[in-house]
Structure 1
Amino acid sequence: MPPKSKARAFRNTPAQAPVPSKNEPPEPFSRPTSKLEPFLSTLSTNHIYITHIDTKPVDFKRKIFLVPVLMNVAIVGLILWRIKYILPWYMKICWSLMAGARNETSLDTAWMSYNDIAKEILRRSMSFVLDLMIYVFIWPWPRAFFTGRAAGNPVLWRFIVGFNREEIIVRRSRRWFQAGLDMLEEGSEQDLVLRTVRQAVDPMWMNEKTGYLMLSKEWDLDWKLMVTATKLCDKKKMDMKDFKPTIFIHDKTFGWMTIESAVASGTAKEEEGRRKIVAFKDELTVMGKENLFFRWIELVQFESSQPGGFGPERQEDTMIKAKKITCYAAPFSPSANYDGNRKSITLTLNTRNPSNPIINVD
């Protein structure tokens, strides 16, 4: 029996929304299509998953991936050097203690002062602690990078998938998510989960990062699932579009539920507006006018925070000021001109958050 209350974190539907049927989860959740079954069967119910398509340039992905490769190779090299340097010393200590063979590590405490004994104990203890720290905290990095098994590893992922213009990215929640949490029950725990998810699918944030850079304290990349998803597409069992930005959450009553990114991060209209803004920002960056974009944002934030609200008159005044900034900064650029054929910008009052107006780029 599904809960009577609806999930409240993403309030994108009217107050008089229709009551969901007993076989369907309440909004904003929905059942995944049957085409996703091959992928859903590989997911763990203990995690939340987020999928999307990484469309960053191939050369950019190679450069980004080269950084952790070189870093982990350097770490392995330093660890091997440390082993070569310290292992003979440890072997001599073990041989002296266990076999009684005298060597340079043997200590005759009867003829040593207390200060010398204390210094030698401290020196050996520091060496033991240093190597223990390397083994516990540093060695797991290259081990997980090159030979990780639980969720796969990035080296195996790149070896199988390679570098492509479109790549499937699958993120998995870390320990902050409590397995078995009733996501349909209103409360602070539900709010925390959905707020974290909403931040993870913010369009502007996702547009600035390639998939490998989305590792964070809240989200891990599931390399094994990324390989599985790619193979499903290669075998024509699924399509790339099936992995559009989507959140997968498991519920005891309804099983796997989905929230599409447009619903998770705002209304579909706002999602489209953000996409256009991101594209416009990229275009200004190519022109060398990225600072112009941030000057617009600062102007809008300043005007919208002034007393009296951000009504039509203030919106119009803000547009006039923004137009002056544009004409001064890029007078000969049709791409950055409000009156040009390619781009126009309008401000709309955000009824859900009046202090944060919606910027539309057409």
Structure 2
Amino acid sequence: MAPKSKVRAFNRAPKSKIPSAPSSASSKLPKPFAPAPKSLEPLLATLPKGHVYITSIDSHPADFKKKIFLVPVFMNILLLLAMFYRIRSIGPYYMKICHSLMGKKNELTMNTRKMTREAIGMEILRRTASFMVDFVIYVFVWPWPKAFFIGQAIGNPVNWRLKLGFKEREIIVRRSRRWFVQSKSLLEEGSKEQGLLFNNVGRATDPMWMSEKTGYLMLNKEWDLDWKSMVTAAKLVEKGDMKLDDYKTTILLHDDDFGWVVIETAEAGGSLKEEEGRRKIVAFKDELTVMGKESLFFRWIELVQYESSQPGGFGPEQQKKTMEKARQLFENEGIDFDKFWEKVGGMKGMPGMDEM
């Protein structure tokens, strides 16, 4: 059995280094897991180990991101205004009840000797209803604006935007919610825990789904956005400790025996053919994103969809004609078509290009 690596104290300082997994352990790491690239060490040194993380690059237009972000800003401001109004209107009512409890009589003091049982019951129900309404507001509504404006555990979106602003290409770091429980069985093929992991990761890294979402909209019931880590990641790039390319779609988790590992998505759930196609699309899109040519990805998708819908099917001959048109698109953008595909691992496995 591989020796366990020593667990170091958690340290969010970007400059600290994480221990590398022993070579003997790395050689026994089961597929589809692989040791995390050393280029990610500055970020990994800042991450708590009890979650799965997904890094990616959001290259939607900055103006579009700003419009998307303004929606929750206004919603949370409205919630705060509504809560402030509630406090102003109900505050004096509660103060008078408190004064009554302290023996200071006022119009809300109940003289039970002079009240009927029905009147007492109605007053108790009325006050209980008021207490319950405010309890629900405090427990279920207040956490939303609180997390949005002053959240501390994983940071908050307001601080993220204030520190980084809106950029054409932004680093996104998602982390798992409560569904993920760290366990040794995660590495065991066919285990229930591994199945859940691959299922959630597979949906979260679906290239079509990701292409339709800005980073902020990737927040859902399975995944949080780690605002602190996104700020840290951006600062690491600014300092030159990491490159933007290092944050291409990557799935990370920590194991006690092997340290930080990545999940190779070609194996993470679904059939091998489907997942190989997913991996190729992600690699294709991420490479264009890093080059600042993500629009070319969408034009390529449109081209393939159009050509594949033509009469006569999408056989080898039609695929070759489509590739010639795609080659022209790439050359118009100043990209060497052949070298680009060589860099992302070739066309084999790419959906719609099975015969190439």
Global fold match (TM > 0.5): yes
Letter in 2 for 1:71: M
Q: Pick closer, same or farther for the CA change 1:274–1:360 going to 2, 3 Å.
A: farther
Q: Residue 352 of structure 2 aligns with which residue?
A: 359
Aligned-partner SS, 1:156 = helix
Aligned-partner SS, 2:173 = strand
Q: TM-score, with normalisation over the residues of structure 1?
A: 0.72
Q: Residue 130 of structure 1 aligns with which residue?
A: 133
2:207–2:282 Cα contact (<8 Å) kept: no
2:26–2:35 Cα contact (<8 Å) kept: no
Q: CA deviation at 1:38?
A: 1.2
Q: Pick closer, same or farther for the CA change 1:136–1:204 going to 2, 3 Å.
A: same
1:108 matched to 2:93? The reply is no
Q: Residue 193 of structure 2 aligns with which residue?
A: 189
Q: Residue 214 of structure 2 aligns with which residue?
A: 210
1:204–1:275 Cα contact (<8 Å) kept: no
Q: Residue 37 of structure 2 aligns with which residue?
A: 33
Q: Pick closer, same or farther for the CA change 1:86–1:272 going to 2, 3 Å.
A: closer
Q: Pick closer, same or farther for the CA change 1:57–1:262 going to 2, 3 Å.
A: farther
Listed one character per residue, the Cα deviations across residues 80-118 of structure 1 (whole Å, up to 9, x for unaligned) are 0000000011101111111x2221101222222222211
Q: Residue 140 of structure 1 aligns with which residue?
A: 143
> Aligned partners of 2:227 and 2:220: how far apart in 1?
15
**Aligned counterparts, 1:214-253, within 5 A:** 214-253=218-257
Q: TM-score, with normalisation over the residues of structure 2?
A: 0.73
Letter in 1 for 2:227: W
> Aligned partners of 1:220 and 1:273: how far apart in 2?
21
Aligned-partner SS, 2:174 = strand
Q: Residue 77 of structure 2 aligns with which residue?
A: 73
Q: Residue 280 of structure 2 aligns with which residue?
A: 271
2:171–2:233 Cα contact (<8 Å) kept: yes
Q: CA deviation at 1:216?
A: 1.1
Q: CA deviation at 1:21?
A: 6.5
Q: CA deviation at 1:341?
A: 3.6
1:159 matched to 2:159? The reply is no
> Aligned partners of 2:129 and 2:208: how far apart in 1?
48
> Aligned partners of 2:134 and 2:216: how far apart in 1?
30
Figure out how many residues of one structure are paired with residues of the other and give that number: 296
Structure 2 segments unaligned to the other structure (5+ residues): 4-22, 269-273, 286-293, 329-349
> Aligned partners of 2:38 and 2:323: how far apart in 1?
47
2:65–2:166 Cα contact (<8 Å) kept: yes
Identity of aligned residues (%): 47
User: Higher RCO, 1 or 2 (CA under 8 Å, sep at least 6)?
Assistant: 2
> Aligned partners of 2:300 and 2:233: how far apart in 1?
35
From the CA coordinates, give the structure whose radius of gyration is larger.
1
Letter in 2 for 1:271: K
2:56–2:250 Cα contact (<8 Å) kept: yes
> Aligned partners of 1:22 and 1:200: how far apart in 2?
28
Letter in 1 for 2:206: D
Listed one character per residue, the Cα deviations across residues 239-289 of structure 1 (whole Å, up to 9, x for unaligned) are 00011100011112110011255664722686249958x97894499xxx9
1:36–1:238 Cα contact (<8 Å) kept: yes
1:51–1:170 Cα contact (<8 Å) kept: yes
Letter in 2 for 1:79: M
1:65–1:212 Cα contact (<8 Å) kept: yes
Q: CA deviation at 1:2?
A: 5.2
Range 218-227 or range 110-119, more displaced: 110-119
Q: Residue 9 of structure 1 aligns with which residue?
A: none
1:32–1:257 Cα contact (<8 Å) kept: yes
Q: CA deviation at 1:57?
A: 0.4
Q: Pick closer, same or farther for the CA change 1:238–1:182 going to 2, 3 Å.
A: same
Aligned-partner SS, 2:187 = coil
> Aligned partners of 1:273 and 1:123: how far apart in 2?
58
Q: CA deviation at 1:183?
A: 2.3
> Aligned partners of 1:61 and 1:104: how far apart in 2?
53
Aligned-partner SS, 1:220 = strand
Aligned-partner SS, 1:39 = helix
Q: Residue 85 of structure 1 aligns with which residue?
A: 89
Q: Residue 334 of structure 1 aligns with which residue?
A: none
1:75–1:142 Cα contact (<8 Å) kept: yes
Q: CA deviation at 1:342?
A: 4.9
Q: Residue 174 of structure 2 aligns with which residue?
A: 171
